[in-house]
Every structure is written in C-alpha cells, then in structure tokens.
C-alpha cells in the first residue's frame, strides 16, 4: 500500500482563478544543465473570484528570487512546496510579479516542460508542462499576451524560436545571441513553445483569402530538408480548406513547424509554432509508407485547425478537453475525406473507433467524453475524448445538415473568440445556429459506455409496410450504474430484392422521398413504419455509421451476403462484409474448440472474386472489403473467456481457404494493380498498392514455395517503402530463410535512419511466430532501441503488447511480465509514456481465467510499487477496480 494516494480533481470543484495575468515577459537563458528563466507577470485580482492567496504552480524548479513591483520579497513573504509557490498577501491593485528560477533541460527525461532532445531545446507544455519552466497560473482559463526573449550559445543554437512574430534579435557577449518573439494573441500557458538548436528549414508562403501573405517554415535536423515537401503541401491545403469549409483564416504573419525525434505524442498545436514528432513530418517515397503520408496529412491539418478550435477559442479547464480535441478531430476527418476517398476514410475512422475507443468504453477505464474526475490529466488524452468526441460532433452535423452546422459553427466562433469556453458554450452555439434542440443530446457528453441498439425489422405483406422496432440500452460503467436514453441518429435504407434502394415513406409523411432517412431514436424503445413497401426488403441500418453504438439486428448470414454485394451505402457495404466474416470467424472458433468440421467461407471468397473483377470500383475500397477483421476485433466480439489461440487459428484457416479458392484471381489482380512509373503518395495510387499488397498477403501463405518467392521478389523489387514493408510484413510471419534474409537486408539498408528502424522493430514485434518474445527481448538490447525515446518504445513494446494478440497473451504469462517490467522501468523516466503502455492490460477481464489471473497479477504488482507515478498509479488501480 502507498503512504498517501493521489487525490482526484473534480469537475464540480471548478472555480475561477483568484488572479489574472495580462502580460508575460519571459527571458530564458538556455543552458543544458541550468537554464535561467526570468518571468515578469503583470497581474491583478480576478474581479469574478473570491479574494484569496496567490498560489502559482511550479514543479522541479530552483527558485532564486521573487519580487513584487520591483521589490524583492523576503523568505517569509512566500512559501514553496514541491508543486507551488504561495504568496499569502499579494497586492489588491494591479502589480508586477517577477520570478527568477532555473530548470535543467538536459536531465528532463519526461519530455514535459523544457527538454533537450538530440541537441535541440524544445518545450511541451500541454497539459501542465509550463509549470516546469516557471511558476505560473498554469491553467487554460488564464490567458495572457507573451513576449519571449531567448538567449543561447550562437554555435549550439543558431536558431531561436517562440510563438508569434520575431521582434528583435542580435549578438551578445561571450558567443551568445538572442531573439525576441511577441505573440499578440492572449493564450493559456499550455500553448507556449520555445525551440532552439542547429536546425535547417524549408520555406514557402501562403496567401490568405483576404490577401495577407503568410510565411511558412518547417524546421528539421540538418540533412532532412528533402523530406518536408509533402508536409508543406499538406499545410497549404489545410489552410485553404479551413477558409473554404469553415471560413477560418490564419492570423499571424508566420506559421512554423518543428520536427523533433523525442516526443510523447503525435504533435502539438502551440500558437504559430507547432511541434511535431518527426515521424509525422518527414517523408520520402523510399522511407515513408502510404499510411505515413496519410497520417502526416491528417496531423498537419489537425494541428493547423487547432489555431481556431483550441487556440483562438480554448478550454476553460481540462475537463473540457473534447471541446478542442473532438471538434478538431472531426475537422481533420472531414479534411481527409475531401482530400481522399470519403468512403474509405469513414471506414478507417470507424475501424479506429471500434479497435481503440470501444474497448476503452466497455472496460474499467471507461469515462465520459467529458470526464468528471481525473487523477492525472495526461491519462485523459484518450480515444474517448478524441475519437468518440469527434463522433459526437459528427452526430450534430448529421442532425443539422452541412449548412445549418456551418451556421452553428459561425456563431460559436463569433461568440467565443478569445475566450476559454466550455462544452455547454459549444452546444448552445450549435443549438442556436443550427436550430436544434440538443437538450437530450448532451447526455452523450456525460454518460460513459457504448450504447447498444437492437433492431428488429418486420415486413407486412398484406399492408405493404416495413416496421423497425428499435431499442437502446447502455451497460453500467465505473461510477455510472443507470443510464438515461440517448438521442441517437440512425440513418437507414431499405434494399429491395433487386438490390436497389427503395423510396422511403414514413408514417407521418405524405409521399415517398429519398432512399436514406435519419431516424431519431430518443426513447428506450420506438417503432418506425415505412409505407408502400411493395416487396420484402433487407434493411440497411446505421448507414455511414451515424452514431457510435453497437448494433444488433435480426439479420441472417444471407442478408449480410446480400448487403455486401448490393448496399448503395459504401460504409454499410463494407460493414456487411465484416459482419459476415466475423460471424464466420466466430463459428470457426467454436468449431475449433468443439473439434468439429471447419467451414470454408465460400461466400467471402466468392465476394472477393467478384470485387477483384469489378474494374469500376475504387481499389482502395476493394482493399477494405476483402480484408478480414483482425484477431482483436474477433476477441472483442466474443468478449468472454477469449481464446486467443483459437482466434488466430480460425483466421489463418479462413485466409488459407480464401487464398486457395481464388488463387488465380488474386494473382491476376496482383499483376494488374502494379503501377508503372514514379511513386505518388496520392490516394488513387495508394489504393492500388493497398489492394495489390493484400493480394500478396493471401498469395504468400499458399503452401509450396511460390508464395514466399513472390513475397521475396516483391521485397527485392520494391522502389518505395510501402511495398518494401508490405513484403517484409508478409515474410516476417513465415518461418523461412527468406525471412531472415529480408530482415538483414532491410537492416543494412536502413540502419542509419531512425524512423525506418522503428518500422524494422515494429514489424518483428508483431510477428506471430513462436520465437517473437525472445526476439523482442533481444531487440530491447539492440543499438536501434532505446527506452528513452517514445517512438522506440511504441515501435517495439507497444506494438508487441497491442498488435500481437497471440504472443502478448502467451499462455505462460511471459508477454505480460515483459511488458509490466518495461512499464516499471519507464515509469521513472517518462510516466506519461509508461501509463499509456500499461493501457495494454485494459481488456484483461475478457480473457480465459488463467490469463486473466496472470494479467491481474502484473497489474497488482505495478499498483503496489512504492513511489510509482500518479500516471501509472491511476491506470493500474482503475484497471483493477
Ligand atoms: N494537443 C495535442 C493534439 O494535437 C496533444 C498532445 C501533444 C499532448 N503533446 C502532448 C497531450 C503532451 C498531452 C501531453 O492532440
Ligand atoms: Zn489535438
């Protein structure tokens, strides 16, 4: 047991700050061991808050001086503890507080606050990192204008960057120099950024819709200038798109992005100075995959869009995190849908939601999109806040339609620009602008859990009606036993026996109109009746996935086969293929457990055959259709006493039987989808590669050595990373000499490229071969790995723990022990990353008893360690609870 458990922070305890800060001047004298920071804060009491002491946040700071209005405070005029600086008797009128502190960027392994990574000074202040730079009111509802003067060694750090516009720079004695930056937009401290180092940059410009010219710069380590072009293009497209779709223009004269190699998350939207994990900037055809290009485009857009949804309008407190994150994810999803294939984007977003958010929402870490309690806020940058948060915005968009949604957004920007807002502010603006009643809808923000929607459809031949009886339930989640019904928009269509959509006419409608209707489910049970339905249809339910729910309907296997061939809604067509395939896989798992005959899945092979022959279909969409649900998806659907080995075997059996049944067609498609000419990362080429590489993955497993030879040739002939890694990904699961040769050749080719080496680590960590655990242990000691770099941890350890179900869940518990050991080792270096890795245990209750016991043993071991971080403590104890 711990001496003192950390106390949770509660939404209901929110109180406005006792003091406000209007203006901040920072003078930061950079040094690896001791960086001196002089902060000059123009402050006053908050007229809207009760009178109280001045309590500033601060962590790991050495305090040298405190002065008020130029007068040094004596030691008894203030107190400090490990997290605060308290001044009991601050003046009543406006005053200037001056604080001199120092911190040590070189020793900062947590990568929060100011740190030094590969010779570059860099900051990460969200959520509560600024307090590691200076004492401050480190909360998002305190917004100030920042001026930052950076002083550094000229040689070590020729480039000095901060938010806003450069206002002065010059030489200083002792080989030093300085730069001064001014950001005219008041902002909370979490958006502060500083970067200094020997960086190269590429430059471009953008002319806004009102004709202002903006300088665009991407800063990278020297030598990487040739990998920035795609990120720059994506940035310009994002800027244009936000003008066209949301009417939002950029507001400073310069927009800068810096790519760094040690970063806790994907990227950060600091005002005018985004900082990125370099994995989401650097791309060249030979080093980055199509998926990397797509992620770069999406994250560039995401951070850029934060300038309005996050920065100009920020969050009142961290409970409102979804206000900026859910909304901004929705915006980046729409951007990608417009840049690429809308259908494929929707499919991949729903895949992500189901694989990451649903397990969270259905497990011990379930929390509302707006949580009401947390121990460590860094643990709440979750799939629920981000991805489900985006789904909630999407539902409002569905309910309002694009025009009225835009009106609502305009009102939101008009009302709250320059403010720290709440979810209520957002919903009020949308309700007013879009003319919607969102009263019941609000429950989505406060109730955790994935609602289950049950549908039963009935055709009445005599009356020619089709009736849908729809009900909803939501299981209990931690701290929430009973749930009130949600407002759930459900888009439906009726598909006739000819495969065509029928015109729809509901009870209260005079005539039929359209073929897709959004039904509003607001009660626990409701019926919806369609008229003039001349033949018995198959219902196509939840088209486009209009709500983040699970759906069960009285549909049979043959209905899914029908829909996967005919549904006009591409999302539901894909959904039908996955429903059919997962039903089949579950029956195979049961057959394996019972020792009965295994079905072959002819209908899936048949569908694949037809899709491969259909030249009109988008190859990227076909690739989505013919891909079987993953092993974790099947585990989630089974949900109890999950048998990971049977799932693996069932899926391999099905893959093999499909490959065997349509070998010729797979080979023909493999040949047809080969692209001649230079590589382009655009969606049409990427889609063809995706389809071709899936064909390869089927062909490679066929008995005999043909398949392996094909994969080895694919590897050798690849002229881009997508094809090269696809071939390696196939070979890594087959025990053959070609596997070892390809891994060695890949290493030789790319050993000096840290981002490509991450792929080499990850692909081995996800191999389903029995030697994988030993190999991961070997790789942990390989020079390509270091536990101090989060990307390396994610590549090797997180991939193993979250993307290799059979090996992580090895029956002897060795996989669990390895990951738990690494969580503990990491905890003393970087608790944020350690806690995230521990998330791999969140679904422990769904496994068979032996594994359940082994997993809970590791969780208990971690929770019991004295001095464990708040981050890991919170995840371990909540997961066990
Ligand atoms: N706000 C970032 C985003 O765009 C998330 C983020 C980046 C973050 N770095 C972080 C959150 C460090 C917490 C800690 O989504
Ligand atoms: Zn974000």
Domains of the chain: 10-197 (2.60.40.1730), 314-446 (1.10.390.10), 452-547 (2.60.40.1840), 751-881 (1.25.50.10)
Q: Is any atom of ligand 1 closer than 6 Å to the C-beta of 267?
A: yes
What span, in angstroms and rounded, lies between the C-alpha atoms of 18 and 44? Answer: 9
* Residue-level pLDDT at 3: 52
Mean local confidence (pLDDT), 499-523: 97
Residue appearing with tokens 């604080």: 99
What span, in angstroms and rounded, lies between the C-alpha atoms of 653 and 768? Answer: 14
Question: Does the active-site annotation cover 303?
Answer: yes
List the beta bridge partners of residue 98.
40, 67
* 8 Å CB contact between 572 and 495: no
The pLDDT tens digits for 178-207 are 999 999 999 999 999 999 999 999 999 999
Name residues whose C-beta falls within 8 Å of residue 462's C-beta, 6 or more positions apart in sequence: none
* Three-class DSSP category at 97: strand
The pLDDT tens digits for 154-179 are 999 999 999 999 999 999 999 999 99
How far, rounded to the nearest angstrom, does the alpha carbon of residue 298 sit from its chain's CA centroid? 10
How far, rounded to the nearest angstrom, does the alpha carbon of residue 230 sit from its chain's CA centroid? 21
CB-based burial, 787-808: b 16+ in 10 Å, e otherwise: bebbbbbbbbbbbbbbbbbbbb
* Residue-level pLDDT at 17: 98
- Please tell me the distance between residue 325's alpha carbon and the centre of ligand 1 in angstroms: 9
Structure tokens at 827: 């905890």
* Residue-level pLDDT at 495: 98
What span, in angstroms and rounded, lies between the C-alpha atoms of 474 and 454? Answer: 11
- Please tell me the distance between residue 268's alpha carbon and the centre of ligand 1 in angstroms: 5
Q: In a 10 Å sphere around its CB, with 0-12 CB exposed, 13-18 middle and 19+ buried, how is residue 327 labelled? A: buried
Q: Nearest-CA neighbor of 707 among 668, 675, 734?
A: 734
Mean local confidence (pLDDT), 397-410: 98
- 502 pLDDT band, cuts 50/70/90, is very high
Q: In a 10 Å sphere around its CB, with 0-12 CB exposed, 13-18 middle and 19+ buried, how is residue 481 labelled? A: exposed
Mutate to test the pocket of ligand 1, among 129, 257, 266 (most ligand atoms within 8 A of CB): 266
- 341 pLDDT band, cuts 50/70/90, is very high
In 163-260, where do the E strands start and end? 165-172, 176-187, 194-197, 199-207, 213-221, 254-260
* Residue-level pLDDT at 2: 52
Mutate to test the pocket of ligand 1, among 132, 192, 267, 273 (most ligand atoms within 8 A of CB): 267
In 428-483, where do the E strands start and end? 452-460, 465-473
Nearest atom of ligand 1 to the alpha carbon of 306:
4
Nearest atom of ligand 1 to the alpha carbon of 303:
4
Q: From residue 419, how far is each of 125, 182, 186 by CA, in Å?
A: 19, 20, 9
* 8 Å CB contact between 35 and 68: no
- 601 pLDDT band, cuts 50/70/90, is confident
Whether the predicted pLDDT of 90 surpasses 70: yes
Active-site residue, from 303, 334, 360, 631: 303
List the beta bridge partners of residue 23.
42, 145
What span, in angstroms and rounded, lies between the C-alpha atoms of 785 and 777? Answer: 11
* Residue-level pLDDT at 375: 98
- 603 pLDDT band, cuts 50/70/90, is confident
Protein residue with least CA distance to atom 1, ligand 1: 268
Structure tokens at 569: 């809604």
Q: Nearest-CA neighbor of 120 among 148, 165, 147, 152?
A: 152
Ligand nearest to the CA of 115: 1
* Three-class DSSP category at 110: coil
What span, in angstroms and rounded, lies between the C-alpha atoms of 56 and 861? Answer: 35
Structure tokens at 508: 């209260």
Structure tokens at 472: 């909803």
Residue appearing with tokens 């690494």: 822
Mean local confidence (pLDDT), 630-659: 97
- 51 DSSP 8-state letter: -
* Residue-level pLDDT at 602: 86
In 377-449, where do the E strands start and end? 420-421
Q: Is any atom of ligand 1 closer than 6 Å to the C-beta of 124?
A: yes
Residue appearing with tokens 């279909």: 617
Say what percent of the chain tops pLDDT 70.
100
Ligand nearest to the CA of 390: 2
- 1 pLDDT band, cuts 50/70/90, is very low
What is the number of other CB atoms lying within 10 angstroms of the CB of residue 171?
Answer: 10
Q: Is any atom of ligand 1 closer than 6 Å to the C-beta of 265?
A: yes
Strands 79-80 vs 35-45: parallel, antiparallel or unpaired:
unpaired
List the beta bridge partners of residue 540.
493
Structure tokens at 589: 């798992």
What span, in angstroms and rounded, lies between the C-alpha atoms of 225 and 654? Answer: 46
Whether the predicted pLDDT of 314 surpasses 90: yes
* Cis peptide leading into residue 854 (ω within 30°): no
The pLDDT tens digits for 682-704 are 999 999 999 999 999 999 999 88
Mean local confidence (pLDDT), 564-587: 97
Structure tokens at 546: 């209009």
Q: From residue 526, how far is each of 492, 505, 520 by CA, in Å?
A: 15, 17, 9
Going 256 to 257 to 262 to 267, the CA torsion angle's sign is positive
Protein residue with least CA distance to atom 14, ligand 1: 126
Query: CA neighbours within 13 Å on the CB side: how many for 136?
Result: 32
List the beta bridge partners of residue 674.
none
Structure tokens at 426: 């957002």
**What is the rounded average pLDDT for all residues in the chain?**
97
pTM of the entire structure?
0.98
Q: Helix 849-863 vs helix 870-880: angle between axes, to the nearest 10 degrees?
A: 150
Q: Is any atom of ligand 1 closer than 6 Å to the C-beta of 332?
A: no
In 222-325, where do the E strands start and end? 254-260, 267-268, 273-277, 314-315
- Please tell me the distance between residue 95's alpha carbon and the centre of ligand 2 in angstroms: 35
Structure tokens at 371: 């949580």
What span, in angstroms and rounded, lies between the C-alpha atoms of 833 and 826? Answer: 7
Q: Is any atom of ligand 1 closer than 6 Å to the C-beta of 377?
A: no
List the beta bridge partners of residue 275.
258, 268
Protein residue with least CA distance to atom 2, ligand 1: 268
Ligand nearest to the CA of 378: 1
Phi, psi of 320 (to 5 degrees): -90, 15
């Amino acid at each position: 047991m711990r001496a003192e458990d950390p106390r949770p922070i509660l939404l209901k305890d929110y109180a406005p700050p006792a003091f406000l800060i209007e203006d901040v001047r920072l003078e930061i004298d950079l040094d690896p061991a001791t960086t001196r920071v002089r902060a000059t804060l123009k402050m006053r009491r908050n007229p809207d808050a009760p009178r109280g002491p001045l309590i500033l946040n601060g962590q790991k700071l050495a305090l040298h001086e405190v002065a008020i209005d130029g007068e040094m405070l004596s030691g008894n005029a203030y107190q400090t503890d490990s997290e605060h600086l308290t001044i009991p008797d601050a003046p009543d009128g406006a005053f200037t507080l001056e604080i001199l502190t120092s911190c040590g960027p070189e020793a900062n392994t947590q990568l929060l606050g100011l740190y030094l990574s590969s010779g570059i000074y860099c900051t990460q202040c969200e959520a509560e990192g600024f307090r590691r730079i200076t004492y401050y009111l480190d909360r998002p509802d305190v917004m100030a204008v920042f001026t930052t003067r950076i002083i550094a060694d000229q040689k070590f750090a020729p480039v000095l960057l901060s938010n806003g516009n450069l206002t002065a720079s010059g030489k200083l004695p002792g080989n030093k120099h300085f730069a001064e930056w001014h950001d005219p937009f008041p902002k909370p401290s979490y958006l502060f950024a500083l970067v200094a180092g020997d960086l190269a940059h590429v430059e471009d410009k953008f002319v806004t819709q009102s004709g202002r010219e903006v300088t665009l710069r991407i800063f990278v380590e020297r030598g990487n200038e040739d990998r920035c072009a795609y990120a720059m293009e994506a940035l310009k497209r994002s800027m244009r798109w936000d003008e066209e779709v949301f009417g939002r223009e950029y507001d400073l004269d310069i927009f800068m992005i810096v790519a760094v190699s040690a970063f806790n998350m994907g990227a950060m939207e600091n005002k005018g100075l985004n900082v990125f994990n370099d994995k989401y900037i650097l791309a060249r055809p030979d080093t980055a995959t199509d998926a990397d290009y797509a992620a770069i485009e999406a994250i560039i857009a995401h951070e850029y869009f934060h300038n309005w949804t996050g920065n100009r309008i920020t969050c009142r407190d961290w409970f409102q995190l979804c206000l900026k994150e859910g909304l901004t994810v929705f915006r980046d999803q729409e951007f990608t849908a417009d840049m690429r294939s809308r259908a494929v984007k929707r499919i991949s977003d729903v895949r992500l939601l189901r694989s990451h958010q649903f397990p969270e929402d259905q497990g011990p870490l379930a929390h509302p999109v707006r949580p009401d309690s947390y121990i460590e806020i860094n643990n709440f940058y979750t799939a629920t806040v981000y991805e489900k948060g985006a789904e909630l915005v999407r539902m409002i968009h569905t309910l309002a339609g694009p025009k009225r949604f835009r009106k609502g957004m305009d009102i939101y920007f008009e009302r709250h620009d320059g403010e720290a807002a709440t979810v209520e502010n957002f919903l009020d603006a949308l309700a007013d602008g879009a003319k919607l009643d969102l009263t019941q809808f609000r429950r989505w923000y406060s109730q955790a859990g994935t609602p289950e929607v049950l549908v039963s459809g009935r055709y009445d031949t005599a009356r020619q009606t089709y009736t849908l009886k729809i009900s909803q339930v939501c299981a209990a989640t931690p701290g929430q036993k009973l749930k009130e019904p949600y407002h759930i928009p459900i888009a439906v269509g009726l598909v006739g026996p000819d495969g065509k959509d029928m015109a729809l006419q509901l009870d209260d409608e005079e005539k039929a109109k359209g073929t897709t209707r959004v039904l509003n489910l607001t009660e626990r049970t409701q019926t919806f009746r369609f008229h003039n339905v001349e033949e018995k249809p198959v219902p196509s339910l939840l088209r486009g996935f209009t709500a983040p729910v699970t759906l069960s309907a009285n549909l049979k296997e043959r209905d899914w086969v029908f829909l996967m061939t005919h549904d006009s809604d591409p999302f539901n067509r894909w959904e039908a293929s996955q429903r059919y395939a997962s039903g089949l896989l579950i029956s195979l798992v049961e057959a394996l457990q019972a020792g009965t005959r295994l079905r072959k899945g002819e209908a899936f092979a048949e569908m694949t055959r037809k899709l491969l022959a259909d030249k009109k279909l988008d190859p990227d969409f076909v690739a989505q259709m013919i891909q079987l649900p993953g092993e974790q998806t099947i585990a989630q659907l089974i949900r109890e006493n999950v048998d990971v080995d049977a799932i693996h075997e069932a899926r391999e059996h099905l893959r093999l039987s499909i490959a065997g049944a349509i070998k010729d067609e797979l080979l023909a498609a493999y040949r047809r989808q080969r692209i001649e000419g230079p590589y382009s990362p655009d969606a049409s080429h990427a889609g063809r590669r995706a389809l071709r590489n899936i064909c390869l993955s089927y062909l490679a497993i066929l008995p005999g050595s043909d398949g392996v030879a094909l994969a080895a040739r694919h590897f050798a002939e690849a002229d881009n990373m997508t094809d090269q890694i696809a071939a390696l990904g196939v070979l890594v699961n087959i025990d053959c000499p070609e596997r070892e040769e390809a891994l060695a050749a890949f290493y030789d080719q790319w050993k000096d490229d840290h981002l490509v080496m991450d792929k080499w680590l990850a692909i081995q960590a996800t191999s389903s071969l029995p030697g994988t655990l030993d190999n991961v242990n070997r790789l942990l000691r390989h020079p390509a790995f270091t536990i101090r770099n989060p990307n390396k941890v994610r590549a090797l350890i997180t991939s193993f723990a979250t993307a290799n179900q059979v090996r992580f869940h090895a029956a002897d518990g060795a996989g669990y022990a390895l990951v738990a050991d690494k969580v503990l080792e990491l905890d003393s270096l970087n608790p944020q990353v350690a806690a995230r890795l521990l998330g791999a245990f969140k679904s422990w209750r769904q496994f068979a008893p032996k594994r359940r016991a082994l997993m809970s043993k590791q969780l208990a071991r971690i929770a019991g360690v004295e001095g464990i971080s708040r981050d890991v403590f919170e995840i371990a104890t909540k997961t066990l609870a």
